[in-house]
Amino acid sequence: MKINKTNKKEIEGSRIVLVRKGLELDAYIKDPAEKKYISERLAGEKNVAILNRLDHVVLFRSLESEDIPKTTRLENARKAGFEMHPMITDHELRSVTVINGGVEQGECVAFTEGMALTNYQFLKYVSAEHSKKHLLQEMVLQDEGLSEDHVEKLENLVNAVYLTRDLVNEPLSFLTAVQLSAEIEKMGKASGFSVEVFNEKKIESLKMGGVLAVNKGSVDPPTFSILTWKPENAVNDRPIVLVGKGVVFDTGGLSLKLTLDSMDYMKCDMGGAAAVAGAFYAVAKNELPVWVVGLIPATDNRPDGNAYVPGDVITMYDGTTVEVLNTDAEGRMLLADALSYAKQYDPELVIELSTLTGSAHIAIDKFGIVGMGNAAREVMENLKASGEQSSERVAEFPFWDEYKEQLKSDIADLKNIGGKYAGAITAGKFLEHFTDYPYIHLDIAGPSFNKVLFNYRGKGGSGVGVRILYHFLLDRSH
């Protein structure tokens, strides 16, 4: 999706004018009859008015009044972009200009963001005769307060979400752990961050027991990707480390999942890895002055003849022994090794994203991210504020030490699952064991993949995690 800016006062071609109810329309429409029609329509319950000309259309869209909280108005503007996209599609428009007709600059940007994200499609495996490809290729913003740089950064962020969705939507028949690392390398070359990939022999030499245990049932080797963005003008002396779960497909292993409504969409179990890669693309492309390191352990989880089994005791990268009681709790095994590995960077903060638990999904559905951690209160509040800004909201769960009790094992240092209750929290406490730095765990199991269309977040991979991380790092870079 191409997003441009124009300084022209007189706009030709199809356009969308964003207004508030009651504002004068003289600058955008001259004909008295047309102006009367639009004013009357927008003054009522309708929030859209259309003028269908011979060679273009002019659409007017009213947004909420300013007495509504700003974050709500921004999200409603994104949803307005989603709602108007079918009209753009119906008129077969390839380009449309979005005109700020009296709304806040942020709302104009959010509207464009929502429509651009709605325009995403994953058609790689759809034959031409069955494809219904959107024709919209370009959006042009007319807003005097916006700079070219601001618009370019919006375009880069939208494309970062596109790339993240592509990764999540790819099936295992293409996206093995090795291919995931290769795709991340491509993203690095396109945007400017560096990537180092550990192969199976390197992972074995490092004794990453969690990664190797999950990989035992697979015919494909695991990978461990290290992403680095360290500009000369970085504002931080110690890196912020982002860790993403990269289970490219999860059968549950010998603790086999149900096929229907469980295993059938488990290509999305690398949503955390995809979000980290997408965030790096946006950060590097937009040249944020912040030092960031990404760690992505990757494998599939299968029940082959040599797969790890319930009852096994695994020695992890840091020497911790873990009694495996459920091979479907595999993500935390990979992530534990990555979190231990992160210690060598002496990080300022580690944020880990993963499609980790059904418990998180059950708790808050697809409407937000379950978050918890031991980082300073200010850090968590800043992350939550970034979530409100991007509408990738964080529902913070308690992180009390009492939850550790459920992870005690009779024969090893830890069990890899807790008890019947608080599964999302005990998973987070398991991971905390492998940290010695400020840590935040984000469980994106609910919002990472939509089985049905969900506003501008689409159907399939949503790309959740990219925008909250980007806005958080943008705020830290000032």
Cα 417 to Cα 253: distance, rounded to the nearest angstrom: 15
H or E segment at 60?
Answer: strand 57-63
Cα 220 to Cα 218: distance, rounded to the nearest angstrom: 5
Cα 128 to Cα 40: distance, rounded to the nearest angstrom: 43
Q: Catalytic residues, which ones? A: 257, 332
**Partner residues linked to 354 by β-bridges:** 443
Enter the tokens of residue 207: 């004794």
Enter the tokens of residue 110: 């959010």
> Is the CB of residue 14 less than 8 Å from the CB of residue 56?
yes
Enter the tokens of residue 188: 């690095």
- What sections of 91-199 are H helices per DSSP? 105-118, 148-169, 177-191
- 392-395-396 Cα angle (round to 5): 130
> Is the CB of residue 438 less than 8 Å from the CB of residue 352?
no
Torsional sign, CA 222, 341, 467, 235: negative
Helices (H) and strands (E) in the chain, counts: 13, 20
Cα 264 to Cα 285: distance, rounded to the nearest angstrom: 34
Cα 420 to Cα 455: distance, rounded to the nearest angstrom: 34
Cα 193 to Cα 281: distance, rounded to the nearest angstrom: 7
- What sections of 316-398 are H helices per DSSP? 331-341, 358-364, 377-390
* Coil, helix or strand at residue 100: strand
- What sections of 286-346 are H helices per DSSP? 331-341
Torsional sign, CA 330, 335, 336, 338: positive
> Is the CB of residue 464 less than 8 Å from the CB of residue 160?
no
